């Protein structure tokens, strides 16, 4: 009965890992405003070490209008260290999926062979 409860907890934990995984990475944009698409997701690194994620709404003179967490921010281009565009990462997605599958398999094998008991000693036949 305890093994079934343990399996439920493991499956819920693994579900959260899959749901909240980040399948995206950010690629630095080299160049000027030509490479930037409006209303796409970006991460802006500022010179004061702050990082802001959101969508670029537009450009005015030397300022960037940025939509982050429902607020429109005006950021001076002089304050921007670099702009990174969000990109889907197949590598991160596949590695996370494989890791979750391996951990699930190990947890299920551990439960089925009762290795989570307090008195379990894998070396008792060796000594």
Sequence-distant (≥ 6) Cβ neighbours of residue 38 within 8 angstroms: 55, 56, 57, 58
pLDDT digits (tens, 9 = 90+) for 17-49: 666 666 777 888 876 666 788 889 999 999 999
Residue closest to 85 by CA, chosen among 47, 46, 48, 30: 30
pLDDT digits (tens, 9 = 90+) for 62-109: 899 999 999 999 999 899 999 999 888 788 778 877 887 787 777 777
**Residue 46: phi, psi to the nearest 5?**
-95, 165
Note the pLDDT of residue 53.
93
More confident: 120 or 90: 90
pTM above 0.85, yes or no: no
Strand 51-60 relative to strand 41-46, pairing: antiparallel
Note the pLDDT of residue 114.
65
The DSSP H or E segment spanning 53 is strand 51-60
């Amino acid at each position: 009965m305890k093994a079934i409860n343990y399996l439920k907890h493991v499956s819920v934990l693994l579900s959260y890992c899959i749901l909240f995984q980040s399948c995206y990475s950010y690629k630095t944009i080299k160049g000027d405003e030509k490479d930037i698409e409006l209303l796409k997701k970006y991460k802006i690194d500022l010179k004061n070490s702050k990082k802001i994620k959101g969508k670029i709404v537009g450009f005015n003179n030397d300022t960037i209008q940025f939509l982050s967490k429902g607020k429109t921010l005006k950021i001076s281009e002089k304050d921007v260290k670099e702009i990174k565009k969000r990109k889907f990462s197949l590598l991160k997605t596949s590695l996370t999926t494989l890791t979750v599958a391996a951990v699930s398999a190990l947890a299920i094998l551990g439960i089925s062979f009762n290795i989570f008991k307090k008195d379990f000693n894998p070396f008792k036949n060796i000594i």
